[in-house]
């Protein structure tokens, strides 16, 4: 299980001078970002933390504030991915899709590759769109192109799966990072996440977006999975998302 020291290492690797205020050897059962505010040189984050010490569960809220070292803003090189190390997939030369099936296949291929990059074994599992397992810890995944009625139904199914399989697994709703090709602007996407984040996070259901052009880039919109390799990946890609989002808005004159 992830330890406090692992989380602090991930913070340090992202050049954030914040640390969880607990002994390094305590286990982190759950970590949720309740609120996060960034400035040019500072990061502020409110966390809900669930720890295990001496076989006892400790729940706490933790406010962290510290400096962050940022690189100068730049256009991301589509040929370089700073966080994914293996199973690199080819890029698409398009932002949109011919139909929803093409989008779903893009999403599935991207997320399956990320799981395999972190030593998951991909297997068939009834009732889910994608399933990975590592050391008896499962990742149950539902896929949809955008936040519509289908997303609401798949979210409900993931909550039911979590009730059945409990907390020692991960659960994810995977969508397109930018859903404008399907008629949903970014503002509506973000409103959907805000409206559903509390319910989904309370059941450990994460929401993730696969980049429209680069299936090697996947961004977390809510909570992170607890397997260390994926946790490190999403801590990194959450920062990357802010740059990509800004570029997207600028390209549309927003």
Tens digit of pLDDT for each residue in 78-88? Answer: 434 445 667 78
Tokens of 221: 């919109």
CATH of 100-251, one of 3.40.50.720, 3.40.50.10670, 3.40.50.300, 3.30.470.20: 3.40.50.10670
Please report the pLDDT score of residue 108 as a whole number: 98
Q: What are phi and psi of 105, to 5 degrees?
A: -65, -40
Please report the pLDDT score of residue 80 as a whole number: 40
Please report the pLDDT score of residue 70 as a whole number: 62
- Which of 218, 198, 219 shows the shortest CA–CA distance to 155? 198
Please report the pLDDT score of residue 183 as a whole number: 92
- The per-residue b/e assignment along 37-70, b for 16 or more CB within 10 angstroms, e otherwise, is eeeeeebebebbbebeeeeeeeeeeeebeeebeb
Q: What is the pTM of this model?
A: 0.68
Burial class (CB in 10 A: 0-12, 13-18, 19+), 177: buried
Query: Tens digit of pLDDT for each residue in 161-216?
Result: 999 998 889 999 999 999 999 999 999 999 999 999 999 999 999 999 999 999 99
Where the chain has pLDDT below 50, the residues are 72-82, 254
Locate CATH 3.40.50.10670 in the chain: 100-251
Please report the pLDDT score of residue 156 as a whole number: 97
């Amino acid at each position: 299980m992830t330890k406090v020291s692992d989380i602090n290492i991930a913070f340090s690797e992202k050049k954030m001078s914040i640390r969880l205020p607990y002994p390094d050897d305590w286990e982190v059962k759950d970590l949720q970002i309740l609120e996060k505010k960034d400035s040019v040189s500072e990061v502020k984050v409110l966390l809900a933390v669930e720890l295990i010490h001496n076989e006892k569960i400790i729940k706490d809220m933790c406010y962290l504030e510290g400096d962050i070292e940022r690189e100068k803003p730049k256009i991301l090189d589509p040929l370089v991915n700073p966080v994914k190390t293996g199973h690199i997939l080819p890029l698409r030369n398009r932002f949109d899709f011919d139909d929803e099936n093409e989008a779903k296949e893009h999403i599935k291929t991207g997320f399956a590759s990320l799981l395999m990059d972190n030593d998951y074994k991909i297997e068939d599992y009834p009732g889910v769109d994608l399933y990975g397992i590592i050391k008896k810890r499962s990742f149950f995944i539902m896929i949809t192109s955008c936040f519509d009625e289908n997303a609401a139904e798949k979210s409900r199914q993931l909550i039911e799966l979590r009730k059945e399989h409990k907390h020692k697994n991960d659960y994810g709703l995977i969508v397109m990072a930018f859903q404008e090709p399907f008629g949903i602007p970014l503002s509506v996407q973000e409103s959907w996440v805000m409206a559903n984040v509390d319910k989904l996070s309370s059941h450990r259901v994460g929401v993730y977006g696969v980049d429209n052009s680069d299936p090697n880039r996947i961004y977390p919109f809510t909570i992170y999975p607890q397997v260390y390799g994926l946790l490190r990946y999403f801590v990194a890609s959450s920062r990357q998302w802010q740059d990509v989002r800004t570029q997207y808005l600028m390209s549309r004159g927003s």
